[in-house]
């Protein structure tokens, strides 16, 4: 279809073709509705817990925001608050990679374009608001673009924020990275695997393999180990439930929140013991 419209442009129908291309480079209403299942929103909701992501690059603003989150979720300290924050933030990765694997569309997830939207009266499950919904579209040479898009998310977004969170709260980067990794595993192993279209399912599987097995230099722009790959291990069968799960290598400490009494079913801990973090 792309080649068809290019040929028509050469015949003098430039205006129509550019308009058609422009329509492709934004999210459709149907796509927006699909993304809402992953805490995507088109409504701005001002509150004390709503913040533009670029403000989180400032250490003092990040600290102040995490202190509010700590109070909201009943966290005993900032380290636990940072861990829970990263679990909530990981839905941005889900939104981003869902768009890529489903529609070949890359959303602008730059810190300046995205806001965390929170409603104070609700449980702290923030949504993501995008100032604009223009996308990059992969038609030809998708493999090269995919590598570029993966690298953009990890090197320009996730790595920057995780480093800042760890610096401000002294929380282990390993915990923060695994909090992100488990949501990527969920997206590709529990959501996209159910796509009816076989071609799309195959493409999603290939995208996932590149994320978990790609070299750090290629995808993350550095010489360090791929921070997602280290958490991608075989699943194990739980003796009590006979359910196959991928046991975490780190604990997210969600059981330490007010009202928390159980560890996650994939937690490496064998029991809930309150102690130092």
Q: Can you give the pLDDT at residue 211? A: 94
Exposure of 247 by Cβ count < 10 A (0-12 exposed, 13-18 middle, 19+ buried)?
middle
Q: Tell me the C-alpha distance between 171 and 162, whole Å.
A: 9
Q: Can you give the pLDDT at residue 153? A: 95
Instruction: Please say whether the beta carbons of 246 and 234 come within 8 A.
Output: yes
Q: Can you give the pLDDT at residue 274? A: 32
Q: Can you give the pLDDT at residue 260? A: 64
Q: Can you give the pLDDT at residue 244? A: 80
Q: Can you give the pLDDT at residue 215? A: 75
Tokens of 168: 């401000």
Q: Can you give the pLDDT at residue 224? A: 72
pTM of the model: 0.86
Q: Tell me the C-alpha distance between 226 and 171, whole Å.
A: 19
Q: Can you give the pLDDT at residue 225? A: 80
How far CA 208 is from CA of 88, 97, 175, 181, in Å, comes to 21, 9, 21, 11
pLDDT in tens, the chain (277 residues): 333 333 333 444 433 344 434 445 889 999 999 999 999 999 998 898 999 999 999 999 999 999 999 999 999 999 999 999 999 999 999 999 999 999 999 999 999 999 999 977 668 999 999 999 999 998 778 988 999 999 999 989 999 999 999 999 999 999 999 999 999 999 999 999 999 999 999 999 999 999 998 877 667 766 578 889 989 988 887 766 677 888 888 888 888 888 765 677 777 665 333 334 4
Q: Can you give the pLDDT at residue 276? A: 41
Measuring CA to CA, which residue among 248, 181, 230 is closest to residue 265? 248
Pairing relationship of beta strands 40-41 and 127-130 according to DSSP bridges:
parallel
């Amino acid at each position: 279809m792309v080649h068809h419209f290019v040929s028509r442009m050469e015949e003098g129908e430039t205006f129509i073709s550019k308009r058609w291309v422009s329509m492709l480079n934004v999210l459709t209403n149907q796509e927006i509705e699909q993304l809402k299942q992953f805490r995507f929103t088109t409504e701005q909701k001002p509150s004390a817990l709503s913040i533009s992501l670029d403000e989180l690059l400032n250490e003092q603003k990040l600290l102040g925001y995490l202190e509010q989150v700590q109070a909201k979720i009943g966290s005993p300290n900032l380290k636990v608050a940072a861990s829970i924050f990263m679990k909530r933030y990981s839905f941005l990765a889900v939104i981003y990679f869902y768009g890529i694997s489903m529609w070949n569309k890359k959303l602008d997830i730059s810190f300046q374009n995205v806001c965390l939207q929170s409603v104070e009266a609700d449980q702290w499950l923030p949504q993501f608001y995008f100032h604009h919904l223009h996308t990059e579209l992969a038609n030809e040479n998708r493999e090269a673009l995919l590598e570029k898009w993966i690298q953009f998310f990890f090197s320009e977004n996730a790595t920057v924020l995780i480093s800042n969170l760890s610096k401000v709260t002294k929380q282990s980067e390993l915990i923060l990275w695994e909090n992100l990794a488990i949501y990527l595993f969920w997206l590709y192993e529990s959501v996209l695997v159910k796509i009816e279209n076989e071609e799309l399912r195959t493409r999603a599987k290939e995208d996932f393999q590149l994320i978990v097995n790609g070299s750090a230099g290629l995808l993350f722009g550095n010489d360090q180990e791929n921070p997602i790959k280290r958490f991608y291990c075989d699943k194990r069968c739980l003796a009590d439930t006979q359910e196959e799960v991928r046991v975490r290598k780190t604990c997210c400490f969600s059981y330490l929140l007010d009202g928390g009494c159980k560890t996650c079913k994939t937690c490496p801990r064998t029991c809930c013991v309150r102690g130092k973090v």
